A and B are shown apart, each in its own frame.
Chain A
Amino acid sequence: MISPEQLVRVLRRDLLAFGPEVIIVLGIILILMVRMFRGSERVPFGGLAAVVLGLSLVVSWWQWVTDQTLEPTSSGLSETRYLFSYMLAYDAFTVYLRLFLTSFGLFMVALCLLSGVPDPDDSADFYVLLLGATLGMMLMASAAHLLMVYIAVEMASLPSYALAGFLKQRRDSSEAALKYVVYGGGASGLMLYGISMLAGKVGTGFLPDVAASVAATFGSQQFDAVTLISVLLLLAGIGFKLAAVPFHFWCPDVFAGASAEVAGFLSVASKGAAVALLGRVLVALLGGMRLEGHELAPPWWAQVSWYLGPALVFLSALTMTFGNLAAYAQTNLKRLLAYSTIAHAGYMMMGLCALTREGVEASLFYLAVYFFMNLGAFAVVAFLRNLVGSEDLSDYSGLVYRAPWLTVTMAIFLLSLVGIPPLAGYMAKFQIFAAVYHAWQAQQQTGLLVLLALGVLNTVLSLFYYVNVLKVMVLHEPKEIPASKPVSGLALVYTGFLSLVLVVGIFFWDPLASGSNKAVSSFYEISPRLTVSPR
């Protein structure tokens, strides 16, 4: 029997590590409480949400800098602590994603305040949903138990559905929300089905345990359909959040219907959390989250990679190629960016395809850069919508004369999305390609080389439709559009700052790389190099 004092001590320790999430929970409750009082219409809820996210960011940063257990030791490994009796993992990976998500939340609130999308009447609801979704995404990044994986995905999804339909007066916004709910419900149903089969088969939901059992199943002679199908269903659920082909159907419609701000949030934060979750699940399945006493023979783990590797390579190649090809035909800028985010999900999956720690690291690096370029692109769309009143590409012709600064920053964001050398997007792509190349050197899998070639080809392909946007904005005849309110100076500062990050980002290559390196230091090196043929 454990004494109550012991329980309280453990709980207190866990709650400290859980601090950033606790702050967001308290923030949600605070916003709810404030609304009960008279005069709450004058409370700036956006500022309140920013303060909550800022506090959470500060605590995460404090953990990142001062917590010695997160620093890699001489063996290159840092500690993983499991919170709340093995429900969540608290390690450098978790804290990195918390930093990513809370700082993105801050930028998001700033964007909403500048573009004025939730009008003051609805702002309290909007920011509660935003905080709730962010909380879910933070849990996605740290889930170490199948139950938490499911709950976290739902916590991230359900507020997102409401956010997608937030513009109630617009028909296509409601349609987008409905589509999102239907597809999302189906996907989470599939995932829950997979999770319950897996947990039932394995007898636990704790990821390293599950992984060990899965590896033992794959490693032994029997072919086990239940394990294979349930793992695939689990990955399909995560693939939906990632908008990876063939689970991408919702993405263009939802992005086109939702406001540009919400689309930006979904494309970066939601996708980031999904990449993190996929990364953690993959690393766990390949034996990167081992516990003491979980020593399985390496060929068993390699057997898992033999099953998962080709499937991932195929999905990643399909995702980026489809995203880039479909983007060509788009006339609506938000739809075009939606397909572009699908393609970028493909690039991030490409890093994970390497099935090495370096690959996960590269994906995290990519996320950090993607944050600025994609948010920037959607921010420009939001400001242009306020200026021009349309999101169709044809209405943006000759925009450079009306909004020169926005056009210039848009050019930087789009070129960075392509990966043109001096911009930060280039180093992100470089990291990914280098990781895949190294993985190919080590494993000699032809699939990886094909993937690499496709990745480079896609990069070149994507150049055309991004540049087409710029061509319309700069070279086409300006259209006669009724005059509207000019874009505020702060909005220009905002986009200017984001583009500045991309321009000077290349000078911060090393610190960023060492950051993402620290983030994956909590995982064991996984070695799919022991390629064994299936028996």
Chain B
Amino acid sequence: MSVGDILFWIVGLMTALCAVMVVVTQHIVRCAIWLLFTLAGTAGLFFLLGLDFLGATQLFVYVGGTLVLVIFGVMLTATGPFLQLRAGAGEWAIAIIVGLLLYGLIALSWLFADWSKLPESALPDDPRQMYHTEQLGRALLGDTSVQPASELAGVPGSLGAADKASGKLQEPPKRQASAFLLPFEIVSVHLLVVLIGAAYLARAKRKRVVVAPRESL
């Protein structure tokens, strides 16, 4: 067993353990935190397999975005009966049956797939040939030579030769790769501001010492 294999097993087992804890934990905030570790562990697995881009996306979208939203949602709305989750025996039974069925389906589809028929190009020998976070960073910064190139360009290409007399475009416009650093960064600022606004609107007004007599509404 190589070091990579050992790491894979460690990270995989931790991820699986955290996933079990998500189900078993009864306190909803702890549940969300266990989910955080599960999703981060999945990202770790992607990184170990050399899939930088996928791992980074997993971190951005699930760990960074969705989960923060979930935790905030839970913390803002968790009051009274919803804080503790207790499942009855019947619910456990149904959950286990459905879970096992899903597991069986995924396992079957994995076992019966013919892995030898994958095209060569899809899995290059050297994982560094695939999309990388470095390329992702370069693309965000505006290096137009890197993949993945997108058709929706930020960089103007040639408009294509237009025939002025007839008014018809003779060849379609050519566009180059895009660079979306600014939208990416500015949206995070936007989400921060919106989160503050949402938190303000959701929380109860702090109690202040009322001097004047309260008017009845």
Contact B152 A205 (CB under 8 A): yes
B192 with A148: CB separation less than 8 A: no
Which residues of the other chain, A, contact B155 by a CB distance below 8 angstroms? 85-86, 206
| Cα–Cα distance between A529 and B213 once the two chains are bound (Å) | 69
Considering only residues 145-180 of chain B, those with a C-beta below 8 Å from chain A are: 145-146, 151-159, 162, 164, 167-169, 172-173, 175, 178-180
**Contact residue among B154, B168, B200 (Cβ-Cβ distance under 8 Å from A86):** B154
State whether B152 touches A204 (Cβ < 8 A).
Answer: yes
In the complex, which residues of chain B have a beta carbon less than 8 angstroms from the beta carbon of A325?
none
Q: Which residues of A sit under 8 angstroms from B187, Cβ to Cβ?
A: 151
Known: A199-B152, A293-B158. A1 touches B164 (CB 8 A): no
- Chain A at the B interface: SS class: helix
- Beta-carbon contacts of B175-217 to A below 8 Å, as 1s and 0s? 1001111110011011011101111110001101000000000
Separation in Å of the B135 CB from the closest CB of chain A?
11
* B193 and A132 contact, CB distance less than 8 A: yes
B138 at the interface (CB under 8 A from A): yes
Judging by beta carbons under 8 Å apart, are B182 and A84 in contact? yes
Closest B residue, CB atoms, query A292: B156
B-chain residues with CB within 8 Å of residue A32 when the two chains form the complex: 192, 196
Alpha-carbon separation in the docked complex, A523 to B118 (Å): 54
Max count, chain A CB within 10 A of own CB: residue among B138, B154, B175, B178: B154
Task: Check B141 for interface membership: any CB of A closer than 8 A.
Answer: yes
User: Which residues of chain B have C-beta atoms less than 8 A from A166's C-beta?
Assistant: 200
Cβ–Cβ < 8 Å partners of A213 in chain B: 159, 173
Contact of A212 among B141, B153, B159 (CB under 8 A): B159
> A177's closest neighbor in chain B, by CB?
B201
> Which one of B152, B173, B193 has the highest number of Cβ atoms from chain A below 10 Å of its Cβ?
B193
Q: How many residue-residue contacts, CB under 8 A, span A and B? A: 159
Q: Is B142 an interface residue (CB 8 A)?
A: yes
Tell yes or no: A137 within 8 A of B by CB: no
CA distance A293 to B181 in the complex (A): 26
Instruction: Indicate if A253 sits at the interface (CB-CB under 8 A).
Output: no
> In the bound complex, what is the Cα–Cα distance between A155 and B169 (angstroms)?
37
B190's contact among A11, A155, A165, A204, by CB below 8 Å, is which?
A155
Closest to B151 in A: A203
Is A128 at the interface (CB under 8 A from chain B)?
yes
Known: A7-B143, A84-B182. A28 touches B197 (CB 8 A): no
Residue of A nearest to B204 (CB): A168
The answer for the CA separation of A131 and B158 in the assembled complex, in Å, is 38
Contact in complex: B193, A203 (CB < 8 Å): no
Assuming the contacts A86-B155, A121-B206, asked whether A158 and B167 have C-beta atoms less than 8 A apart, the reply is no
- In this assembly, does A476 line the interface, its C-beta being within 8 Å of a C-beta of chain B? no
Partner of B164 from A84, A125, A206, A297 at Cβ < 8 Å: A297
Q: Which residues of B contact A219 (CB under 8 A)?
A: 167
Q: Smallest CB–CB gap between B165 and chain A, Å?
A: 8
Whether A158 lies near B190 (C-beta < 8 A) is yes
In the complex, how many angstroms separate the beta carbon of B202 from the nearest chain A beta carbon? 10
Measured CA separation A466–B211 after assembly (Å): 39
Contact (Cβ within 8 A) A86 B167: no
Alpha-carbon distance between A190 and B208 when the two chains are bound, in angstroms: 43
Contact B201 A168 (CB under 8 A): yes
Residue of A nearest to B138 (CB): A7
* Bound Cα distance from A121 to B169, whole angstroms: 61
| Contact (A148, B182) CB under 8 Å given A87-B154, A219-B167 | yes
**Cβ–Cβ < 8 Å partners of B173 in chain A:** 203-204, 209, 213
- In the assembled complex, A169 has its CB within 8 A of some CB on chain B: yes
Point out the residues of chain A lying under 8 angstroms from B183, CB to CB: 87, 147-148, 151
Docked CA distance A7–B146 (Å): 13
Q: Among B142, B198, B201, point to the contact of A10 (Cβ < 8 A).
A: B142
Smallest Cβ-Cβ distance to B167: which chain A residue: A220
Q: Does A488 contact B (CB under 8 A)?
A: no
Task: Please indicate the chain B residues that have their CB under 8 angstroms from the CB of A125 in the complex.
Answer: 196-197, 199-200
Q: A22-63 CB contact bits vs B (8 Å, 1 = yes)?
A: 000100110010000000000000000000000000000000
A266 to chain B, nearest CB (A): 15
User: What's the minimum C-beta distance from B171 to chain A, rounded to whole angstroms?
Assistant: 12
Return the contact of B201 from the options A135, A147, A165 (Cβ within 8 A).
A165
A490 to chain B, nearest CB (A): 24
Q: How far does the alpha carbon of A225 sit from the alpha carbon of B128 in the complex, in Å? A: 46
Digit string of A135-177 for contact with B (CB within 8 Å is 1, else 0)?
1100100000101100100110011011101101100000001
Residues of A415-429 contacting chain B, CB below 8 A: none
In angstroms, Cα B201 to Cα A57, docked, is 30
The 5 tightest CB contacts between A and B, nearest first, are A132-B193, A162-B197, A85-B179, A85-B142, A84-B182
Q: Other than the known A84-B142, A85-B181, what 15 A-B pairs have Cβ atoms closer than 8 Å?
A: A10-B142, A86-B155, A87-B180, A125-B197, A128-B197, A132-B194, A132-B197, A135-B189, A147-B154, A159-B193, A168-B205, A169-B205, A293-B158, A297-B164, A300-B167
10 A–B contact pairs at CB < 8 A? Answer: A84-B154, A87-B183, A132-B190, A151-B190, A159-B193, A161-B197, A204-B156, A209-B175, A220-B167, A293-B158
Residues of B within 8 A of A (CB): 138, 141-146, 151-159, 162, 164, 167-169, 172-173, 175, 178-183, 186-187, 189-190, 192-194, 196-201, 205-206, 208
Give the interface of A toward B (CB within 8 A). 1-2, 4, 7, 10-11, 25, 28-29, 32, 83-88, 121-122, 125, 128-129, 131-132, 135-136, 139, 145, 147-148, 151, 154-155, 158-159, 161-163, 165-166, 168-169, 177, 199, 203-206, 208-209, 212-213, 216, 219-221, 291, 293-294, 296-297, 300
